Amino acid sequence: MNKFILAILLIITVYVSAQTEHSRLTNLGEIPEDFFRYKDISQIKYDELDIVKSRREKKLFDNFQIENNDHLYRLLHSGFILYSGPIFEYVNQVADKVLSNDKSLRGNVKVYICLSGAVNAFALNSGNIFINIGLIAHLENEAQLAYILTHEIAHYQRKHSFNRYKEYDKIDKHAKELKISDEDDLEFYINHYSREKESEADLLGYEMYKSSGYKKVEAIHALDQLNFAEYPFENRVINKSFFEEDYLKLPKSYFPDTASQIVIDEFEDDSLYTHPSTGKRKLSLAKIIDTNDNSGKEFIISKMEFERVRRACRFELSRVYIFDRDYIASLYNTFLLMQQDSNSLYLNNCLIKSLFLLQSCVNNKNISKLIRNRKKVKGETQKIQYFLSKLSIEEMNALCLKKAWVIHKKFPSNEEITAYTLEITKQFEENVSNNLSYFKTSNEYNDSIIASFYITDSTGSAKKLYRGSKTERKKIVKKGSFANYAMSDYLGNVEFVETFNDLSKSIKLTNKVEEETEEDIVEAKPKEKRKKDEVKTDIKRIDNFIIVDLFNMKIDERKKNVIRYVASNNKKQEIFNIINTCAQKNNINPIYLNAESLTKGDVDKFNDRSLIEFWLTEKENNNLIKEKINIDYTLLQELKKKYSTKYVGVISCIGVVLKKDYSDFLYSLFYSIAYPPLFLAFGYEYIMPSTACYINFTIYDIENGKTAFVKSKIYDTNDNEDLIKAEFYNIFFQLAKK
């Protein structure tokens, strides 16, 4: 009896813990040895016995493993990799299961989780396999995950990564015979080779998979999931009611009842892809699988665990999509998850963020860049795209304002939601109205009034959808806007009214200051033009800041392998030492979170770095809007307190040896004969290699997302130690004297 009660209690505990609030996926425990092994990229050697057959191949293999080690090291420290936690552990348990008969192979294979929304997994020659959370979110059961793993293990076993590299070299060498004129032709041949290897991995992977005890037919079902790689994990009907609230009723014409069906062409032309079409892959598998054989299990480790892991991945996707600037995907993903967890703080947080970012896009008139051609978008997300294309600036701002305040009301004490609510309100006031009288009172509202505003005018002049189109769009005549009623029920809310009025005053003040300084800005412009290489912003002295990334690369355009990996790797340590010396000389104490300075026990630093990397990646990719609030607001605020600094620095140094241009050689010769001293000068120019060096030093303010300091310059000299020392000393000198 006691055992029975304990079992029930255990189940309840597991269930309750499974349904707990999701939070950002991070790592726990010591950083694995793998993350440091590849620091010296020339030291790690792979087993080459089976694949290297000639001296040329040996040279190729050496180059390959250096490149591979470099990529692997960068990837492991990119901030997008999970080496611990429930997802990592579960996936590794499945890997243990499928390789239970081959312990030595299991010892060589290391599976990591990649925080990417792409439905993909990949294997490297070093035995590192990466499974994206986007892929796990799409899978139906553990057996499918097991098959994906065996497929990737097969890639590793057959050294496909190196073979592809070798093939690339071979095709490049025979480019003339194969009539390859450009990169596209080369890709065509390589893709053909890749498809062959994918098919080989499918079959070899299945050989491993079939003995693992999982349901055989799930191997084919796993491939089915790849058909929907471009779509959300589910295609659930979304209605306008998701966006509606009390007094916020949307016109019917803004939200279509149906969306285009998702039609999958399993046998599409795959000549431009690295993978064969799913139809072909399924057919080749079907030849060796008895589709009526239902033996084996869908779950061996645990169904509950699988669902818990998949749920975590799906939740994380809402966040990942935001960082990938796919706000519509994030919105729809959040909608799907909210069907079960509508009160989830995490999901509401994601919802308010994606709404804020969409609002910013609309206000910056960039929303069209997010909306793809409706004919190409299938499924329910098409409705959101259509809806967004219909909304005016006024309507979008009102919609976001209402949703933000509703979410804020649900979670009044949440700092991040409050911050976003404030920003959304501010944007509304800046772009629509900063007067509360804009909103009509609730007495003036009735459900039919909104419908009466948006009447399709059949008598009015019709417009063609686009030039040459035969279909015509019916003109919608607006006699009012739902925006005016959106906040009717909040006019009595003291917090809303006070916040709105306070922001209104501050906006008026800001405008006044902007008007006064307008002349100064115009005068300052020529100065900015003159110093186009270098942009500085006014900051006070910076005593410390976080160095999150140190990027170094040496490029030699004259060589076949343009990137000099080993030299870059060695130079990185030299630059790191220079930075340290220069900082010390100027009494600045940087906090090093870069990969090179981490040790095994620095898991907190590793997670913090991951957080900043996410933020920076979004920031660098985001050319649509300059948001005034950070996406990971709360986490970054905590980071600021933890390190007692609000500055984050990113350092890059690239040295390039350029190809010589001999087009002016005859002129130089002529001038040299005419005036001999020039002979030495021109001789020097032609004998010595042309070089360039690019140095970038950027410090961001994590409080407001702005760039606090930038020095970005290209020098027409080599990346010599003295140049780097002088430039970095100068940078720290400038930071210290402010």
Partner 1 sequence: MRQLRIISLLFISNICLGQAPGYMGKKFMFGVSGCYSPTYSNLLIFDRTTVNYVGEEINRFLAPLRLGGGMKYVISENRTLQFDIYYQQIGVSTSSKNSSSYNNDPDGVTKGNPFKYSRASFVTYSFGLTQSVATAPVGRYFGSNVVLILADVESIDTDNNVYKTGNAMDFGLNSEYGIRRVFKDKIVLETGLNISIYFRGVAGFVTKESNDAAADRMISKALFANFINNFCTLKLGIYYLL
Q: Residue 696, interface with partner 1 (CB under 8 A)?
A: no
Least distance in Å: CB of 662 to partner 1?
21
Q: How many CA atoms lie within 13 A of 472 on its CB side?
A: 10
Least distance in Å: CB of 524 to partner 1?
20
Pick the piece of the chain touching partner 1 (CB under 8 A) from 36-44, 45-53, 487-495, 725-733: 725-733
Pick the piece of the chain touching partner 1 (CB under 8 A) from 154-162, 169-177, 321-329, 721-729: 721-729
> In the range 98-137, which residues lie near partner 1 by CB under 8 A?
none
In terms of CB distance, is 415 or 528 closer to partner 1?
Answer: 528
Least distance in Å: CB of 536 to partner 1?
12
The answer to whether 125 and 162 have CB atoms below 8 angstroms apart is: yes
**CA 101 vs CA 107, 309, 655, 719: distances in Å:** 12, 25, 49, 52
> In the range 22-41, which residues lie near partner 1 by CB under 8 A?
none
Distance CA 206, CA 199 (A): 11
Site for partner 1 (CB under 8 A): which residue of 24, 39, 221, 725? 725
Least distance in Å: CB of 661 to partner 1?
18
In terms of CB distance, is 152 or 719 closer to partner 1?
Answer: 719
- Helix, strand, coil percentages (3-state) for the chain, rounded to 5, are 55, 10, 35
Q: Residue 509, interface with partner 1 (CB under 8 A)?
A: no
Q: Residue 431, interface with partner 1 (CB under 8 A)?
A: no
The answer to whether 22 and 344 have CB atoms below 8 angstroms apart is: yes
The answer to whether 647 and 545 have CB atoms below 8 angstroms apart is: yes
> What would the 3-class secondary structure string for 131-197 be?
EEHHHHHHCCCHHHHHHHHHHHHHHHHCCHHHHHHHHHHHHHHCCCCCCCCCHHHHHHHHHHHHHHH
> In the range 65-104, which residues lie near partner 1 by CB under 8 A?
none
Q: Residue 4, interface with partner 1 (CB under 8 A)?
A: no
Q: Residue 512, interface with partner 1 (CB under 8 A)?
A: no
In terms of CB distance, is 15 or 670 closer to partner 1?
Answer: 670
> In the range 377-406, which residues lie near partner 1 by CB under 8 A?
none
Least distance in Å: CB of 567 to partner 1?
19
In terms of CB distance, is 6 or 535 closer to partner 1?
Answer: 535
> In the range 559-588, which residues lie near partner 1 by CB under 8 A?
581-582, 585
Least distance in Å: CB of 694 to partner 1?
12
Distance CA 113, CA 81 (A): 6
Q: Residue 532, interface with partner 1 (CB under 8 A)?
A: no
Least distance in Å: CB of 49 to partner 1?
46
In terms of CB distance, is 442 or 730 closer to partner 1?
Answer: 730
In terms of CB distance, is 445 or 715 closer to partner 1?
Answer: 715
Pick the piece of the chain touching partner 1 (CB under 8 A) from 210-218, 242-250, 569-577, 718-726: 718-726
DSSP character string of 433-484: -S-GGGSPPGGG--HHHHHHHEEEESSSPPEESSTT-SSEEPEEEESS-GGG
**CA 312 vs CA 239, 338, 615, 661, 697: distances in Å:** 25, 14, 20, 55, 37
In terms of CB distance, is 498 or 528 closer to partner 1?
Answer: 528
In terms of CB distance, is 304 or 726 closer to partner 1?
Answer: 726
Q: Residue 733, interface with partner 1 (CB under 8 A)?
A: yes
Pick the piece of the chain touching partner 1 (CB under 8 A) from 217-225, 405-413, 441-449, 716-724: 716-724
In terms of CB distance, is 368 or 717 closer to partner 1?
Answer: 717
Least distance in Å: CB of 561 to partner 1?
28
DSSP character string of 637-687: HHHHHHHT--EEEEEEEEEEEPPP--TTHHHHHHHHHHSTHHHHHHHHHHH
Distance CA 270, CA 472 (A): 36
Strand 647-657, strand 707-715: pairing: unpaired
Contact pattern from residue 666 through residue 695 relative to partner 1, giving x for each residue in contact according to CB under 8 A and a dash for the rest: ---------xxxx-xx--------------
Q: Could you give phi then psi for residue 463, rounded to 5 degrees? A: -110, 145
Sign of CA dihedral 523, 526, 530, 534: positive
In terms of CB distance, is 10 or 681 closer to partner 1?
Answer: 681
Distance CA 320, CA 313 (A): 10
Residues 6+ apart with CB under 8 A from 37: 44
Pick the piece of the chain touching partner 1 (CB under 8 A) from 307-315, 430-438, 611-619, 720-728: 720-728
Pick the piece of the chain touching partner 1 (CB under 8 A) from 288-296, 602-610, 699-707, 728-736: 728-736
Residues 6+ apart with CB under 8 A from 594: 547, 548, 549, 550, 576, 609
Site for partner 1 (CB under 8 A): which residue of 342, 343, 537, 720? 720
Least distance in Å: CB of 425 to partner 1?
44
Residues 6+ apart with CB under 8 A from 464: 471, 472, 473
Q: Residue 535, interface with partner 1 (CB under 8 A)?
A: no
Number of residues engaging partner 1 in binding (CB under 8 A): 24
| Tokens of residue 137, six digits | 């979110």
DSSP character string of 481-528: -GGGGTTGGGTT-HHHHHHHHHHHHHHHHHHHHHHHHHHHHHHHHHHH
Residues that bind partner 1 (CB under 8 A): 581-582, 585, 675-678, 680-681, 713, 715-717, 720, 722-723, 725-727, 729-730, 733-734, 737
